[in-house]
Amino acid sequence: MPAKPSPDPRHDILLQEGMFHGTTAGDLTAAFQDLEQHSSHLCVFFHGGLVDEDSGLTSAHHLADGYTGTGTYPFFFIWRSGLLDTIRALLRKHSRNPAFLLAADYAVRLLADKIASALDQDALLKVRARRKPRARTLEALAAFAEPFDKAWAARTALVQLGCSSSELDFFVRFLTHADKRRGKRPPPTFVPEKLQGARNPLSRILHRFNSGHDHGLYTTVVEELFIAIGVNDLAGKIWSEMKVLIDDSFKNDPQAGGTVFIDHLCDLWNRKPDFRVTLIGHSAGTIYVQRFLEALDARLPSSSRAKVEVAFCAGAMTFERMYQGLAVWPRRVAQLRVFAMDDFREGNYWEVKLVYDKSLLYIVSGLCEVDPDADKPLVGMQRYWTRDTYQKERAIQEVIETITSPRSVWSLTAAKAPPGYRSKATRHGGFPEETQTNLSICYALQNGF
């Protein structure tokens, strides 16, 4: 078993509910004194929102040498937000329920048949949709759905999927009897009262496909079945609690890690106005960066010209949240670079093995953030930058205009991409540690963003 990583008080800032816990305010004071003697550039790394202490420290120690090698003095906020395993366990628990598999199989095949009928030029698709054998696993069901996703994505005309009220009613009856078909005793998996009207999963699935908010056939079906069970309520609560941890670190409290750090930074800037500062956020760490910028702007006098550089990696911040604080960007951000996966990579691996076949950001968008379409636009997801469905949303357009395309790097990048703009990341976890992404950030730290 690998040794448990130990914090380095010169670089690691350990927090519990936003307060120092494991390292101290005194440690941070000493670290800033060390910084001032050895460097003219600091960077601050904020890990993702579902990362535990050991994982956060392991990542910090992996990145520290590269950042230090650029002449930068790195700090790592380790904020004990390790809830990813909780969300994974939540999805696995319900997916193992035979009634859930039966419901997913029925819904995927029903929608496959509707897609095949709507794209009536594709006879082979119709034959495949109506094959009798049932999926034995969710993995097999996801494989079955793939050609229907490809056909739906390739459609050239406006196509709508429809159903009758009797189909909607039958779908509810099918779900509520799924337990009986498997001989399961109460409590029921699907409760009739939670499936009525606009909450009918079949109605929601069809609406998402027709309005451009689907996440693919298999993924949309399992998301909506999880929502019918109430998994999104629990996942959303976990995600909301994670955001509270971020806000807590900027309280008016001598033990609040974010507040104390900003106090030290502003004191340093008073002595050395040209001191260079870079903020790096991965996943929900981008929410931390946004909150840091807002707290920094509130702390500095309006006449201050102090600005930082920012790097985002696979940002889990919503466009809505960034838009709310967009006014601080012209005042406090000098340079920005955004790294993320292209949509093919985002949707091409199992974040929760044999249960959920897309990245963590899709889980956040579909099940963690509150959104009537279970499709909350996130800054780190390419689909929201490029699809017509989202182009009329003011928050999305203004954020994209602020970032601008030359500042964005979509993995996998071309072999001839310039230094500082390369990434080969294919998974959400460990994105900043991926070799080419890490080298790009180190290049920018050394040569500018």
Task: Please give the pLDDT value at position 291.
Answer: 98
Residue for token pair 């409760």:
191
The mean of the pLDDT values for the chain is 92
- Model confidence over 60-115: pLDDT tens digits? 999 999 999 999 999 999 998 777 778 888 899 888 888 899 999 999 999 999 99
pTM greater than 0.85: yes
pLDDT band at 192 (very low <50, low <70, confident <90, very high): confident
Question: Containing H/E element for 437?
Answer: helix 435-447
| Token representation of residue 225 | 């079945």
Residue 188 contacts residue 331 (beta carbons within 8 Å) = no
- Model confidence over 121-138: pLDDT tens digits? 656 666 666 665 566 789
Contacts of 235 (CB under 8 A, 6+ apart): 87, 90, 363, 367, 368
Task: Please give the pLDDT value at position 158.
Answer: 86
The pLDDT of residue 309 is above 70: yes
Task: Please give the pLDDT value at position 53.
Answer: 87
pLDDT band at 40 (very low <50, low <70, confident <90, very high): very high
Cα dihedral across residues 294, 46, 386, 201: positive or negative: negative
Q: Average pLDDT for residues 303-311, to the nearest whole number?
A: 95
Task: Please give the pLDDT value at position 440.
Answer: 98
The pLDDT of residue 389 is above 90: no
| Token representation of residue 323 | 């838009």
Task: Please give the pLDDT value at position 321.
Answer: 98
Which has the closest alpha carbon to 356: 205, 191, 226? 226
Q: Average pLDDT for residues 408-436, to the nearest whole number?
A: 96
Gap between the Cα atoms of 278 and 280, Å rounded: 7
Residue 310 contacts residue 270 (beta carbons within 8 Å) = no
Gap between the Cα atoms of 46 and 247, Å rounded: 14
pLDDT band at 4 (very low <50, low <70, confident <90, very high): confident
Task: Please give the pLDDT value at position 387.
Answer: 85
What is the layout of strands, in order, in the sheet containing 19-20? 19-20, 12-16, 73-78, 41-46, 276-282, 308-313, 333-341, 408-411
Burial class (CB in 10 A: 0-12, 13-18, 19+), 188: middle
Percent of residues, the chain, with pLDDT higher than 70:
94
The pLDDT of residue 143 is above 90: yes
Question: Containing H/E element for 295?
Answer: helix 285-299
Domains of the chain (ranges; CATH) run: 12-79+249-342+382-447 (3.40.50), 94-235 (no CATH)
Q: Average pLDDT for residues 158-172, to the nearest whole number?
A: 93
Tell me the three state secondary structure of residue 352: strand
Q: Average pLDDT for residues 208-213, to the nearest whole number?
A: 96
Task: Please give the pLDDT value at position 3.
Answer: 72
The pLDDT of residue 183 is above 70: no
Rg (CA), the chain: 24
| Token representation of residue 88 | 């994974």
The pLDDT of residue 31 is above 60: yes
- Model confidence over 435-445: pLDDT tens digits? 999 999 999 99
Gap between the Cα atoms of 409 and 400, Å rounded: 13
Task: Please give the pLDDT value at position 42.
Answer: 98
The pLDDT of residue 412 is above 60: yes
Question: Which amino acid is located at 94 in the chain?
Answer: H
Q: Average pLDDT for residues 269-281, to the nearest whole number?
A: 96
- Model confidence over 348-371: pLDDT tens digits? 999 999 999 999 999 999 999 999
Which has the closest alpha carbon to 48: 439, 380, 398? 380
Gap between the Cα atoms of 39 and 197, Å rounded: 62
| Token representation of residue 205 | 């699935």
The pLDDT of residue 236 is above 90: yes
Gap between the Cα atoms of 41 and 274, Å rounded: 9
Tell me the three state secondary structure of residue 172: helix
